[in-house]
Every structure is written in structure tokens, then in C-alpha cells.
Amino acid sequence: MPSKTEKLLSLLNGQPVIPVLKINDPAHAAPLAYALARGGLPVIEITLRTPGALEAIRRVIAEVEEAIVGAGTILNAAQFEEAASAGAKFIVSPGLTKELLTAADASPVPLLPGAITPGEIMTAREAGLDFLKFFPAEQAGGAAFLKALASPIADVKFCPTGGVSSGNAMDYLSLPNVVCVGGSWVAPDAMVREGRWDEIEALARQASELVERI
């Protein structure tokens, strides 16, 4: 049986950008996910930052067959269980706590927890988690910081999120310890609000092609 890290890597590896989405209106969820998938980004993270986030996850799962939906901004075990019950295929957290680790240990749904300091990264590694979210990436030292970690903690891989954009994504993706990046630039709030799905598809296609430049 593959480990949870292997399960996560099988979901996220090969897609250079994971859209990080804050969906205010669940009615936008399915057409947004469909536009992103058409543009080559079927794996998405819907953050639990809005009241309708769980409903958004359920709608995408029900209506967009090609989408692979994860839940983000998970802060505690209750949210972990709610997101998993809604059908999330992976869980993303800004950090790692004992409560979250216990919830993850009891669930088949893999956890991608955030870590930024060497101590946090080593703690996650000791818990068997060697694929981590590096958040907030730009504020924590950016690509230069991650590059410095590549040698002393060579077996840990990262998905940087926070301040990552089309302008700096390649700085991260070119590093040996980065699998993918998370970003919201592929689905700007105004485009989602106005239903400009073709433009979002075009942004997704540009992001999906970043892997060809590595």
C-alpha cells in the first residue's frame, strides 16, 4: 500500500501550479473548476475561508469529473473531518499541530501541512511527513530560503504557497526540493465573480505550461 506521501505526490506531481481558491458563491465552484481543468490544472485547493467552502467542494466533486479537489486552511481536527466527509482528496493546513496529526493518522486522506522553520520541518519529518507546504513562502524567505534547505534536509519536498505569482513561480519550480507551487493568480476574484471562465482557462493553460520550462 502506498504511503500517504506517495498518495499526495501521485495527486500533485506533474502539475506545476495548484490553484488556491477562495470561493464566496458555491454556484461558481463547478464552472471555475471546469475552466481550470480545461486549462490543464485539474487539481485544485478550495480553502475553508468562506461559509460556502464545503458546499463548493461537494459541488465540484459532483459536477466536474476530471477535478481533484483538496481542502485548504484546515486548522483543527473538526475541519479535517468535515472536509474529508465532503469528499476532499487531500487536506492542506498552514501548520502542523498534534490534533491535526492525530486526525491525519486516523484518516486515509493525506495531509499537506505547512512548515517554515528548520525545527518545524524536522518535527514534521519525524512524524513521517516529508512533503510539506512552505507557507507563507515569500514572507518566510522565498526561493532563496528553500534553496538553502535543499542540502541539509534533502529528503523533504515542498509546495510553496503565499506570495507566489506568475512572476516568481519559476524561481521555486526550478529548485530540486520543490514539487509544485500553490497560487491564486490563475483565478482572480473579479474574473470568478464575473464568470469570465474563458480567461481563467487561458491563465490556467499558461500556468500548466510552466512545467515545460523546468
Catalytic machinery residues: 45, 133
DSSP SS3 for 168: coil
- C-alpha 148/C-alpha 111 separation (Å) is 24
* Euclidean distance between CA atoms 66 and 192, whole angstroms: 19
Closest CA to 182 of 136, 144, 214: 136
Burial 110-147 (b: 16+ CB within 10 A, else e): bbbbbbbeeeebeebeeeebbbbbbbbbbebbbbeebb
Q: Which three cell numbers stand for residue 118?
A: 528548520
CA-based angle 213:46:2, to the nearest 5?
Answer: 70
Distances (CA, A) of 155 to 10, 145, 158, 176: 17, 16, 10, 10
Which residue's entry shows cell 491525519? 104
